Structure 1
């Protein structure tokens, strides 16, 4: 009886989730990771088969997050739903420990305590734990990234949870964008068969940024580079997504690119100056385990106009403009888009909200030209808001009248790629 119940649960998951048919391009072809063929068998109480769990680690460039998802089947003949998400994060990102990888293991071990408190002990041996690193580790030398992953693997192997094959790895940027698209459209009910519209997503991390949407125009698909298009089958429909991840165009990496600090040597002796910073400002800025000395310009023009020209160099010739990005399209924007909109007073942190791109421009001008209390708290706010404008308008080609839905959570669940990855992960399991 218990096995039949689990077969029903897993049958629903397999029905809900795509059997991925990715394009042949190297960037888009393999975002689905194979984890193994079977969950370990375990004697369980009869009623516990109604609930199953998943643990997903998101190791970003600025922090490491754990998501513990609870799926529940209230009716044996009904459909399971996402019942709850337990979320916690720690800063800085694991890339900051590139020279002391054992600290990365300690960070993951601490976050696993959240999973132990959330998942009942009787479920531990059947609950998969998966770790995916993003831009922070993608930017590291391979040997240092591998050392960090080995530390995480050791922590997983000593944990009481089920550790699938390939449970610890670096995820490519294309996967990050696609899985975030699945998360948002799943949470907003747009993956239902009856739904005719999907929403696009914009994700701005510390090291990279992603754009993913379902094109309405064939010309968008035909004119895009082949590795910008990902095809897969879901709900008896074939989706063709426009998706790309720009490594080095996250908000923190963009700061360094504008300052001319990326790849520079002799950092202990150099000071990197920007017209985006207050004239008298000097400070140290750390990213990826490296510290940079920065300051404003003491001579010369400062303010929004000069700052804009600095940030424009980071996106011009780098970010491609899709053929279509019309006002009628709905895009959800999160991560640093959300955080800086809150910091700039454009939205309420608890509720999020709709913001026009021109609202970012207006606030950037205010912060850059007339430094306020906000810029005193974050001296990079002028630079960051200006970069967001350059990225959206001059990079992706959005109109200033375009409205973005800024959100951190949908239905009380984090709007990251992690849920999409957890869902995709469950479809890989078979019970015999």
Structure 2
């Protein structure tokens, strides 16, 4: 018993003062670490939202985007949270009945109302951007174009969202914002990486946008757009070719084949066995070909397919002008284009056509791609219909033409070769968000991408907590050792047993 008493007297850790200091120190450490963890704990995310309607030539689509609301100056990561394809054709098709254009949007607007929390409705911006279909209608009949915009604006103003207006976006904007979308979603802008070019193909226009080291914008200023994003400057080459979307090019190729007003057209871009009666008035009812209608001509013609890729490519080449160029280099139709650089993302109709043809893998040699399209075009129409019974025949009949046009546009129009064709990646989505101009458009209008790189905390949350914990332990150890002078005095105090 006396031995145990002697050990207690010699051990300073058994003194009341040391025990109290130890307990207080432990409590202090726990409190310090707890405060650090709670203070820096990621909070449950609250989101803000934005809505963009893409009023294209063939259809309208609605996209809802969301981002963390607590980020300073709304610099949080923007993601697509919902999309809705409007039933029916594009709004430009309602020129003679504009009220129907507004009515067509209601189903998707109801979906948006359900997808966005009601407390966010009034603060959620809503935009409608119209592309080449409305550009053509505005050229052809500006009064009808204004009527359509008035109708869709009235319909959208009745929604609970903050409607910011409906307008035609320029071809340059469409190309530039598509480039922003692709590079933003791929985190290339924030990290200052080499950017990806954007290839967009719609029904009425097509866009090409990319950064080239040998292009400073001086040779063709109208094709230049400058961005300063996250502290980096980008001098972007971009051009939009109106009438060179796949639907309008199809009309141009048919217009070329019907210049003499024949009653029958043997078309190599359609399968053998395909036949349909086409109306001359409908074919030429677009500004892209309206001035070429043959006079006189019968009311209709028999459109018959022959299924020949090589001949189809020859017909498609007729819509391009490869000879006139006043610049150091051109793509086609006398339009300046610098040398291609870097990887490219090809989306919209590029993806859908090449995906149908099972040609999205660009590691396939270009010559093999052409052979596969050749074989597809040569397949009889009856066999094609049997292979794809669930696809509408109107769309099914055009894949031979569309595939031929895409390859011709890329290789002979934009000058991709067998060497750099693998640099193209056919994409539909990037990180669950659709590739296209709408996200870039909203980011620009809401100033969501800062010109300068946002400031970052010097340490991540985990690293911060770890350092605080280590420092707290070190401080506690130092305090204990600093009390060593009083240990002998404490140990000499008489103990009452």
- TM-score interval, normalised by the smaller of the two chains: 0.7 to 0.9
| Aligned counterparts of 2:104 and 2:256: Cα–Cα separation in 1 | 29
- 1:103 shift after superposition: 1.3
Deviation at 1:99, TM superposition (A): 1.3
Other-structure match for 1:184:
182
Query: Which of 275, 279, 283 is the matching residue for 2:268?
Result: 275
Is residue 57 from structure 1 mapped to residue 62 from structure 2 by the alignment? Answer: no
Q: Is the 8 A contact 1:344 1:374 kept in 2?
A: no
| Separation (CA, whole Å) in 2 of partners of 1:303 and 1:353 | 23
Distance 1:103 1:52 in 2: 31
User: Aligned partners of 1:354 and 1:73: how far apart in 2?
Assistant: 41
Contact 1:311–1:390 (8 Å) recurs in 2? yes
More helix by share: 2
CA separation of 1:353 and 1:414: change in aligned 2, threshold 3 A: farther
Match of 1:243, SS? strand
Q: How far apart, CA to CA, are the structure 1 residues paired with 2:347 and 2:243?
A: 18
What CA deviation, in whole Å up to 9, does each residue of 1:8-61 have, x standing for no partner? xxxxxxxxxxxxxxxxxxxxxxxxxxxxxxxxxxxxxxx999421101000001
Rg larger in structure: 2
Distance 2:368 2:175 in 1: 25
- CA–CA separation in structure 1 for the residues paired with 2:385 and 2:155: 41
- State the Cα distance separating 1:79 from its structure 2 match: 5.4
CA spacing shift, 1:413–1:292, aligned 2, 3 Å: farther
Which is further off, 288-297 or 92-101?
288-297
Pair 1:72-2:68 in alignment: yes
Deviations 1:338-368 (A, max 9, x none): 0111111224xxxx87666545422221122
| Deviation, structure 1 residue 72 | 1.3
| TM superposition score normalised by structure 2 | 0.67
Q: Say whether the 8 Å CA contact 1:321–1:396 is kept in structure 2.
A: no
**2:442 corresponding residue in structure 1:** 422
Q: Does 1:105 align with 2:102?
A: yes
Matches within 5 A, 1:209-358: 209-218=206-215, 221-223=217-219, 225-260=220-255, 273-283=266-276, 295-296=303-304, 303-317=308-322, 318-319=332-333, 320=335, 322-326=337-341, 329-347=342-360, 357-358=366-367
SS of corresponding position for 2:163: coil
The separation in 1 between residues aligned to 2:73 and 2:249, in whole angstroms, is: 51
1:73, distance to aligned residue in structure 2 (A): 4.1
Q: Which residue of 1 aligns with 2:403?
A: 385
Q: How far apart, in 1, do the equivalents of 2:270 and 2:144 lie?
A: 32
Say whether residues 1:161 and 2:170 are aligned partners: no
1:24 aligns with none
Match of 2:376 in 1: 367
Residues of 1 paired with 2:397 and 2:415: CA distance? 27
Provide the rounded CA distance (Å) in 2 between the counterparts of 1:359 and 1:383.
Answer: 17
Match of 2:429 in 1: 409
1:394 Cα offset (Å) = 0.8
2:275/2:304 contact within 8 Å kept: yes
SS of 1:212's equivalent? Answer: strand
Q: Distance in 2 between matches of 1:244 and 1:100?
A: 32
2:117 counterpart of 1:120: yes
Question: Is the 2:212–2:338 contact (alpha carbons within 8 Å) kept by the matching residues of 1?
Answer: no
Shift in Å, 1:295: 1.4
Distance 1:132 1:302 in 2: 38
Unaligned 5+ runs, structure 1: 1-46
RMSD: 3.3
2: CA distance, partners of 1:353 / 1:111: 35
Q: Distance in 1 between matches of 2:245 and 2:265?
A: 19
Check 1:250–1:354 CA distance in 2 against 1; reply closer, same or farther (3 A cut).
farther
Secondary structure of 2:340's counterpart equals coil
Q: Distance in 2 between matches of 1:261 and 1:226?
A: 33
How many Å separate the matches in 1 of 2:152 and 2:285? Answer: 18
Q: Any gaps of 5 or more consecutive residues in structure 2?
A: 1-42, 287-298, 323-331, 389-395, 450-497
Q: Which residue of 1 aligns with 2:200?
A: 203
- Structure 1 residues 293-331: Cα deviation after superposition (integer angstroms, max 9, x where no partner): 66125xxx75112111100112234454623125xx200
In the alignment, which of 381, 384, 395 is matched to residue 413 of structure 2? 395
Does the 8 A contact of 1:64 with 1:94 survive in 2?
yes
Task: Give the 3-state SS of the residue equivalent to 1:260 in structure 2.
Answer: helix
CA distance in 1, matches of 2:428, 2:277: 29
Deviation at 1:425, TM superposition (A): 1.5
The answer on whether the counterparts of 2:192 and 2:232 sit within 8 Å (CA) in structure 1 is no
For these two proteins, the number of residue pairs brought into alignment is 367
> Is 1:95–1:288's contact at 8 Å kept on the other side of the alignment?
no
